[in-house]
Chain A
Amino acid sequence: MTPGTDGAWTLRVIYTFENSPTEGYSPHYLTSGPGGVLYGTTDHGPTTCYFCGTIFSLTPPADPDGAWTEQLLYTFETLSEPPDALQVIGSNGTLLGALIGDQEGGVVFLLDPPAKPGGAWSERVITGSPAVPMAAIR
């Protein structure tokens, strides 16, 4: 990548987390999916669940100058660490992720989109291992 013809790079904040009850905060990892949708992880959950990690999506606006739309997709309420890696796999938008975990080892998980719009995403833990291959997933 190179800067524009004037040598300048332009930074724009497209979403700001505000530590609210309806979203996580402290975003960490990002990955991109179909349609330019960004998927990401947060290290903390909503204000009611500080130690929970979350997965969120950011959908780009139709107008390039418009606002991106954030949606909290999933809150990890039973896993003790936030997710450390995330990728979109498959044509249905299933997300593959991993977290380092605690003394019991790391976890590789799948997050499946709802069958109908507006439904809940569902988590599947596919393996627990002390040697989760983060680099392969990132």
Chain B
Amino acid sequence: MVRAGYHGFTGGTDGGNPMSAIVSGGVIYGTTYGAYLGIPSGTVFQIVP
């Protein structure tokens, strides 16, 4: 089951648009694309239940 809205990315320090996600060791890891030539220029994040 997929439910949306566990986290709302703001485009600030969290990097904005999420691009991909995997599950490893019970933790979600994912990437955000970031701002064009801006900082952050993308992030890697984890979401821990």
Q: Which residues of A contact B (CB under 8 A)?
A: 1-4, 9-19, 25-32, 36, 38, 40, 42-44, 58, 68
Q: A55 to chain B: closest CB distance in Å?
A: 13
Query: Which residue of chain A lies nearest to B40 when distances are taken between CB atoms in the complex?
Result: A16
Instruction: Give the number of chain B interface residues (Cβ < 8 Å).
Output: 33
Query: Which residue of chain B lies nearest to A20 when distances are taken between CB atoms in the complex?
Result: B41
Q: B31, B32, B33, B45: which contacts A12 (Cβ < 8 A)?
A: B45
Q: Which residues of B contact A (CB under 8 A)?
A: 6-7, 13-15, 19-26, 28-34, 37-49
A15 contacts B49, C-beta separation under 8 Å: no
Q: Which secondary structure dominates where chain A touches chain B?
A: strand
Query: Which residue of chain B lies nearest to A8 when distances are taken between CB atoms in the complex?
Result: B49
Q: A11, A36, A42: which contacts B45 (Cβ < 8 A)?
A: A11
B37 contacts A19, C-beta separation under 8 Å: yes
A15 contacts B44, C-beta separation under 8 Å: yes
